[in-house]
Structure 1
Amino acid sequence: METSGKGNGTRLCPGYFRHRWFWRFFHQSALAFTLRPGNPYNQTAILTNNKFDPVKFESVGPAYFSSTNALYYITANLAMGATLVHVILFYRPQLMPFVRALNPWNKTATIVHDEHYIVMKRYTKVPRWWFLVLLAIAYGMAQATDYTGHSHFSWWQLTVILILSLVFTLVYCTTAAILGFVQFSTQLDGFYSMIASYMIPGDPIANMYSALYGSQPTVQGIMLLGDLKLGQYLKIPPKVNFLVQVLGCIVGALLNYVMMLSIISNQRAALLTIAGTRLWSGQNAQSFNSNAIAWGALGRQMFSPGKTYYMIPVALALGALMPIPHYILHRKFPRNQFLANFNTGVVLQYSCFMSVGINTSINTASFLGILSQWYIRRKHPR
């Protein structure tokens, strides 16, 4: 692996020297589109009334990702497919009590061997209808903001995205609860953008709404699940915990909106650059925008069979196959701890983690991880 002279990206030797995806032309940490050989791509030049215009596209020409960004999207889809299948194959026993609990006629008692859970049984549980009311309110607000925002995303299309989001929220929340691993916040946008590109092609704005309403329920679900777990450890009554979470979401949303306005106003120049600064990076917003244009406007031109980036959607299916050999080996050698604890989705997600943006925090995080999980845990376990 050779360190790139441009920014903080990396050059994978086979990709660089074989010139895959026009590797040498682009800044390797870039998230924005480019024209070959690396000039900025004028996204507005291919749009008419914020929708894709094929006539204008013919005059502007095709758009390209940086190679590291394309690799990131491939590994993200690989990880998403792998995580779904891994949960189905490996975590079925842990999921069955939850599935049975959803059945109102279920008479099978769930036995939980957890001292924290046993202590919490003295409190009254949150009624199921509280969650149903909250779901109805959230769904109504989603439809309201969808229409008042002139997203061009119809009610049934939004409903389909939310149902898909429910499925993957269960998958990722299960993984987060079992492994204690919660860093799944960056890989989901592309999948929902891909789905929206088939439902409403040529519309970047609708595509952004799809990515928003598809990915954020999973991110928020993992965070709220962590709060529920913390509340159980601290022995907070479930009803109190529920109300605090709801209020926290409302206050947090308002504070985030105010902070967003302030940051965009004061750090706009840094957010628009490829590499950002030591403290500020626009990588999330740039990725959000790139996905919207790529899938919303140029989906067929970039990702169809035979096109430059056709492997990005194909990677979702390939990722779904990857846990199967692992599962077969695990069934053959059930006592092998490596096979029992190995998670294909987590490994794939981090296969191209440092492809973009500011990565200076990773050195500190790695040092703290080694210090706490290896040295202190081994030398001073108590």
Structure 2
Amino acid sequence: MPDAEYTVIPNTFASETRPSNDDTPALEKASSSDNENTRVLEGRSSSISSACSSHDVDKDSAQEEDSPYESVRAAVANTDDPTMPSLTFRFWILAVPLTIAVSLFNQIFWFRTLSVGIGGMIMQLGVFPLGKLLEHTLPKRTIRLGPLRVPLNPGPFNIKEHTLLSVCTGAATYVAYAVDIVVIKHVFYGRATPIIGSILLVLTTQCIGYGLAGLCYRHLVRPAAMIWPFNLMCVVMFRALHERETTGGLTRIRFFLLVAGISGAYYFLPGFLAPFLSTISVLCLAMPHSLVANQIGSFTKGMGVLSFTLDWNAITSSLTSPLMTPFWAIANTFVGFVIVAWILAPIGYWGNVWEARTYALFGSSLYTARGDAYPVLDMLNADLSLNEEKYAQVGPPRMTFMFAIAYGVGFAALSALLVHVGLHHGREIVGRLRESLTAADDIHAKLMDRYPAVPHWWYLSVLAISSALGIFACEYYETELPWWGVLFAVATAAFFLLPIGIIAAVSNAVPSLEIITELIIGFILPGKPIANVTFKTYGYIGMGQAIVFLGDLKLGHYLKVPPRHMFIAQLTGSLIAGTTNVLVAYMMFSIMPDICRTDAWYCRRAHVFFNTSVVWGVIGPRRMFGAEGYYSALMWWFLLGLLLPVPFWMLARRYPGSWLRHVNIPVLLASTAHMPPNYPGAYPAWFFVGFASWLTLRYRRDWWERYNYILSAALDTGVAFASLIIFFAFTNNGITLDYWGTQPDCPLLKNTL
């Protein structure tokens, strides 16, 4: 399904999510009490010296006080050096060009069928040697900039500079969600928007969340009870990089460079010379003329049975890195995939439920009742509203069976998440909320009191300016969303921010507002596709960006980065990255007129986004899923999601030491709510790599703790840089190969994304 219903805290430089364009975010997922990766932190506390506090102040008194939470004590230093510089000259000369470069790269390859991206872990590791390089090369002198005296090289590259760089450049590691609107208007609806209008749309959707976040700082960041568990692993990684390694073997940086070099060299095979290595479908190779065998075995267009890949990017372009995901979540995800793709999908398809055999087995394309492509553009008026007369002639659209049940799975995942969080974390959330309101400040809050807080008027100014410019962009640049729609979307985001923020801060789970916002505006403004996706973006991303920003502020809280510097770094990164995203998208429209219409540059996420705009906007939820809708039965999946977590919760309480405690229904369901655009063949490969990582953790814990996350980042880095070379050296110059190894996966089947 198009829309992510269950994500983890998308820390901006931890690749994912964003709540980004990526209808993907990442399933890495909730329930930190079961997360093996988080438990590893507790075993490492004695081995991590306080590298970020080499000039600790109040050390003796700090040792007498620490966080009341064990996981925080294991990961976060209870000391600080307030003389350590953070928003330095080095920050600016690295942050600006790197943010532009990363956003440019990620936007270009967002259009690719197998998308490639530079993730947050890459930036966290990549900026470290650059910072150390400037530490040794910049002259140790001070320059004047007006009334300011700016030291070019204020000493060792430190953990606070590193954090700000990672946060700023991390804003570029995902493509702004509103770019989807720009793309579908230009490519599918044929309505090119002036570039300034697109920039305003993207920047305002990205920045509204910052204003909202400031209103919740004292409730979601400052209190010790608001842990934000995902940040603990980031803190450990920062401290590991800034401490002196005393163990033998390869250092982390050398290991990273070695693996990245091997990964980049290898990627020339699946990335250019032998693309068939990315999607190997055994049944299609064995029985190329059998339609059923192709449907069952296709990596990209079928069920993915006996399919595999020798391409790291083919795994991570659909799912998050299996090396970064705890095995309990991987197991839940794979079980959900098997149930939906290998059990329900064939039963529904060959059982001809909803006339399923009239259409493809897999894909997000829309059809008429006879199986022809749904003539969306022919049914629209000049203002892109639905022409009722033509709609009466053609009728509602039909979907592939897998696309239809992906909507049902998404409905169930949303309601299941609310029930799961209530059952497993409800008492904890209420307790943490009470603590945040009544408990005394912990050591980290006291240490942060040394730094000036961000004035409320900063946040309110960003919120007011973004809202005003958003209203202007929507009214002036033909989105069909009226001014009150923008304000309503912002109010929706603000209404849900505090309760969802508490859930996120305690459990790492982030309920999504996508379906809620689509339903709301679909009923209020039916027949207006651009208005629908615009409202969804302001509401969903408004809250999502606020959650991202609050998570980053908590990271800065743990590492004692001045809040004003964190605000400046994050806002700078978002403004630069969003503007670059739009400029690069328009560049791609210019140099590739057939963008999103070729096998290699198919823009599968944009295709899904367009089709959801038809389902929720052009046709509307009442006609699709209401009482008169062809797919009205899918609304019962909301009830199914409410009921499913209950028996597993009861069994886990009855047998607390059994495997049942690891069953997580929201993760199990949400894993396939993204399929399409995720490819079925990626799930088995993802599972086996994750299983190998789990075995390493079980039997070679020392190696896993030292290298596992760096291995993931190095593989991503190698793929990213090789993709850049391939694009500019070959693709951009029209150099292609044409032989059996470059043919698409299972060519007997059409691409129906």
TM-score, normalization by structure 2: 0.43
Q: How does 1:18-37 map to 2 (within 5 A)?
A: 18-37=351-370
Match of 2:349 among 16, 37, 42: 16
1:44-84 CA-partner distances (Å, limit 9, x unpaired): 22122311122111223331112111121111121122223
- 2:589, 2:595 within 8 Å by CA — same for their partners in 1? no
- 3-state SS of 2:398 partner: coil
1:43 and 1:96 mapped to 2: Cα distance? 48
- 3-state SS of 1:48 partner: coil
Match of 2:533 among 193, 208, 213: 208
Match of residue 486 from structure 2: 158
- 3-state SS of 1:30 partner: coil
Amino acid at match of 1:142: G
Per mean C-alpha deviation after superposition, the further-off stretch among 311-320 and 251-260 is 311-320
Seen in structure 2, the aligned counterparts of structure 1 residues 7 and 92 have a Cα distance that, compared at 3 Å, is closer
- 1:83, 1:171 within 8 Å by CA — same for their partners in 2? no
Match of residue 330 from structure 2: none
Question: Once the 2 structures are TM-superposed, how far is the Cα of residue 253 of structure 1 from its aligned partner?
Answer: 0.8
Amino acid at match of 1:76: G
Match of residue 69 from structure 1: 403
- 1:8, 1:356 within 8 Å by CA — same for their partners in 2? no
Match of residue 131 from structure 1: 459
Match of residue 140 from structure 1: 468
- 3-state SS of 2:672 partner: helix
Match of 2:665 among 344, 353, 374: 344
Amino acid at match of 1:31: S
2:659 and 2:468 mapped to 1: Cα distance? 45
Match of 1:304 among 608, 618, 626: 626
Seen in structure 2, the aligned counterparts of structure 1 residues 166 and 197 have a Cα distance that, compared at 3 Å, is same
- 2:349, 2:361 within 8 Å by CA — same for their partners in 1? no
Amino acid at match of 1:348: L
Match of residue 379 from structure 1: 700
Matched, 1:228 2:553: yes
Question: Once the 2 structures are TM-superposed, how far is the Cα of residue 174 of structure 1 from its aligned partner?
Answer: 4.8
Per mean C-alpha deviation after superposition, the further-off stretch among 53-62 and 362-371 is 362-371
- 2:298, 2:681 within 8 Å by CA — same for their partners in 1? no
Seen in structure 2, the aligned counterparts of structure 1 residues 138 and 6 have a Cα distance that, compared at 3 Å, is same
Matched, 1:370 2:698: no
Question: Once the 2 structures are TM-superposed, how far is the Cα of residue 175 of structure 1 from its aligned partner?
Answer: 5.1
- 1:206, 1:296 within 8 Å by CA — same for their partners in 2? yes
Rg larger in 1 or in 2? 2
1:9 and 1:205 mapped to 2: Cα distance? 31
Match of residue 80 from structure 1: 414
Unaligned runs of 5+ in 2: 1-292, 304-340, 706-753
- 1:33, 1:64 within 8 Å by CA — same for their partners in 2? yes
Seen in structure 2, the aligned counterparts of structure 1 residues 205 and 286 have a Cα distance that, compared at 3 Å, is same
- 1:31, 1:283 within 8 Å by CA — same for their partners in 2? no
Matched, 1:288 2:622: no
Seen in structure 2, the aligned counterparts of structure 1 residues 39 and 5 have a Cα distance that, compared at 3 Å, is farther
Seen in structure 2, the aligned counterparts of structure 1 residues 241 and 30 have a Cα distance that, compared at 3 Å, is same
2:458 and 2:434 mapped to 1: Cα distance? 19
Amino acid at match of 1:35: T
Question: Once the 2 structures are TM-superposed, how far is the Cα of residue 210 of structure 1 from its aligned partner?
Answer: 1.8
Match of 1:3 among 296, 317, 320: 296
- 1:28, 1:355 within 8 Å by CA — same for their partners in 2? no
1:329 and 1:133 mapped to 2: Cα distance? 50
Amino acid at match of 2:582: Y
2:408 and 2:550 mapped to 1: Cα distance? 28
Match of residue 322 from structure 2: none
Match of 1:254 among 579, 597, 606: 579
- 1:143, 1:155 within 8 Å by CA — same for their partners in 2? yes
- 3-state SS of 2:405 partner: helix
1:297 and 1:134 mapped to 2: Cα distance? 33
2:629 and 2:587 mapped to 1: Cα distance? 40
1:61-113 CA-partner distances (Å, limit 9, x unpaired): 331112111121111121122223333443345544775699xxx6x22565x
Match of residue 638 from structure 2: 316
1:166 and 1:66 mapped to 2: Cα distance? 36
2:536 and 2:582 mapped to 1: Cα distance? 18
Matched, 1:54 2:388: yes
1:236-273 CA-partner distances (Å, limit 9, x unpaired): 22221112111111111111112222334445535236
- 1:193, 1:292 within 8 Å by CA — same for their partners in 2? no
- 3-state SS of 2:627 partner: coil
Amino acid at match of 1:48: N
1:284-323 CA-partner distances (Å, limit 9, x unpaired): 2222222222222222332221532113444334423433
Q: How does 1:94-105 map to 2 (within 5 A)?
A: 94-96=428-430
- 3-state SS of 2:526 partner: coil
Seen in structure 2, the aligned counterparts of structure 1 residues 189 and 291 have a Cα distance that, compared at 3 Å, is farther
2:428 and 2:455 mapped to 1: Cα distance? 23
Per mean C-alpha deviation after superposition, the further-off stretch among 250-259 and 187-196 is 187-196
Amino acid at match of 1:62: P
Match of residue 521 from structure 2: 196
Query: RMSD value over aligned CA atoms?
Result: 3.6
- 3-state SS of 2:596 partner: helix
Unaligned runs of 5+ in 1: none
- 3-state SS of 2:671 partner: helix
1:165 and 1:54 mapped to 2: Cα distance? 32
Match of residue 594 from structure 2: 269
2:507 and 2:458 mapped to 1: Cα distance? 28
- 3-state SS of 2:354 partner: helix
- 1:192, 1:214 within 8 Å by CA — same for their partners in 2? yes
- 1:9, 1:356 within 8 Å by CA — same for their partners in 2? no
1:374 and 1:174 mapped to 2: Cα distance? 34
Seen in structure 2, the aligned counterparts of structure 1 residues 173 and 6 have a Cα distance that, compared at 3 Å, is same
1:242 and 1:254 mapped to 2: Cα distance? 18
Seen in structure 2, the aligned counterparts of structure 1 residues 270 and 189 have a Cα distance that, compared at 3 Å, is farther
- 3-state SS of 1:8 partner: coil
Matched, 1:109 2:439: yes
Match of residue 356 from structure 1: 677
Amino acid at match of 2:414: M
Question: Once the 2 structures are TM-superposed, how far is the Cα of residue 15 of structure 1 from its aligned partner?
Answer: 0.7
- 1:281, 1:357 within 8 Å by CA — same for their partners in 2? no
1:328-364 CA-partner distances (Å, limit 9, x unpaired): 555x549557666643322210134443355676566
Amino acid at match of 1:42: P
2:591 and 2:353 mapped to 1: Cα distance? 38
